[in-house]
Amino acid sequence: MSTPDNQSIYNLIRSYMSDMGTSRTTAVALKSYIDAVERLKCEASDFKPMLARLNTVIKNTEPRVIPLVHLVEAFEADMTAGSDLPLEAAKQRAMDLLNRIRVQFQDATARVTANCVTCIAPGDLIIAHLLPPYLREALVRARTERGHSFKVLVVKHDFVRTRELVDDLKAHHIDHLLIPEYNLSHYLKGPAKFFTGAVSVTPDNQAVTPVGTANMVGLCHWYRVPVYLFVESIKFAHKPLADQRIYSEAQVKTEADVTFHMATFSHDFIDLAMIDHIFTETGEIAGRAGAPGSPEQGG
């Protein structure tokens, strides 16, 4: 059930996803969960119901943060075994379990980064649009660890993430060019690669991605520029796109005394048919949904 408090949490999570990407948001959310459990003061009889309420909120964000959903479901299953513990022991068990799954998730993200590094070759032109931190790190490592010389075409969209990417490229002396989204077609007639991440990949072969990504992928697909999707396997959902709760709202904006009524969505979706390569922490997989390694429950 949606409440004003829940909507405030969903708005906060969307803001984190916009600024940091889904993977870092997942890690931050788990750390916040651990801190909340540590500070929690309640009766022993209230502990499990309070966790259950928070878990329900987490599993129904808009959009669904699939890695967080799957990790919370795994946490719930593991907590069932310790349901009769005293309060302090139950809290410690919860914190230990949450920290363990957080570390496992961060390890999977690190291995995705390592696989991305192997996809960067000397002389490449990498098209980057709203890259998550783990893919920005791959660009830096390809330069600093492998000594590769390549160029990054930065397609400006979100100010914060564009600034962070440009700052990283400058700091590590990586050749780059910053362009507006509407000029991308001018750079697609030569060899290039488009790198992206995703919020989730659904069993009906759709990838939920940051807003604006679908336009970039559509152009790249048309010009036969290969599209690379890098995701942790836990981002593979078990429910179709229609159940991913992509947030939409009506907005009213006034410009030069003219009022516009617009319908907006928080995220895009992309058909996997337009993606040439999909890499998880285990390496490249077939271009379809249903990667192994995710829990078999909701999301």
Q: For residue 289, is pLDDT > 50?
A: no
128 shares a domain with 97: no
More confident position, 74 or 157: 74
Rounded to whole angstroms, how far apart are CA atoms 141 and 199?
A: 23
Mean pLDDT of 70-90: 88
CATH number, residue 239: 3.40.50.10470
Which residue from 154, 145, 144 is spatially nearest to 176, judged by alpha carbons? 154
144 shares a domain with 262: yes
126 shares a domain with 106: no
271 shares a domain with 169: yes
Q: Is residue 151 part of a domain?
A: yes
Order of strands across the sheet that contains 283-285: 175-180, 151-156, 125-128, 193-196, 227-230, 277-280, 283-285
138 shares a domain with 256: yes
pLDDT at 210: 94
The last residue of one of the domains, among 87, 111, 135, is: 111
Task: State percent of the chain over pLDDT 70.
Answer: 94
Q: What number of CA atoms fall less than 13 Å from residue 149's CA on the CB side?
A: 0
The last residue of one of the domains, among 63, 88, 111, is: 111
Q: 87 lies in which domain range?
A: 4-111
Confidence bin at 65 (pLDDT 50/70/90) = very high
174 shares a domain with 68: no
The last residue of one of the domains, among 60, 86, 111, is: 111
265 shares a domain with 133: yes
Per-residue pLDDT tens digits for 172-198 = 999 999 999 999 999 999 899 999 999
Mean per-residue pLDDT of the chain: 92
pLDDT at 83: 67
Residue 60 tokens, joined: 């129904």
DSSP symbol at 62? S
Token look-up 């991305």 returns 116
Q: Is residue 199 part of a domain?
A: yes
74-78 long-range contacts, CB within 8 A, separation 24+:
74/101, 74/295, 75/101, 76/52
- Judged on CB neighbours under 10 Å (0-12, 13-18, 19+), 135 is buried
Q: Is residue 87 part of a domain?
A: yes
170 shares a domain with 253: yes
Q: Is residue 294 part of a domain?
A: no
Order of strands across the sheet that contains 267-271: 200-201, 206-210, 267-271
- Judged on CB neighbours under 10 Å (0-12, 13-18, 19+), 234 is buried
Looking only at the bridges linking them, the beta strands covering 206-210 and 227-230 are: unpaired
For 18, 103, 130, the CA distances from 164, given in Å and listed in that order, are 13, 24, 10
Q: Is residue 142 part of a domain?
A: yes
Task: State percent of the chain over pLDDT 90.
Answer: 84
Taking the whole predicted model, whether its pTM rises above 0.85 is answered as yes
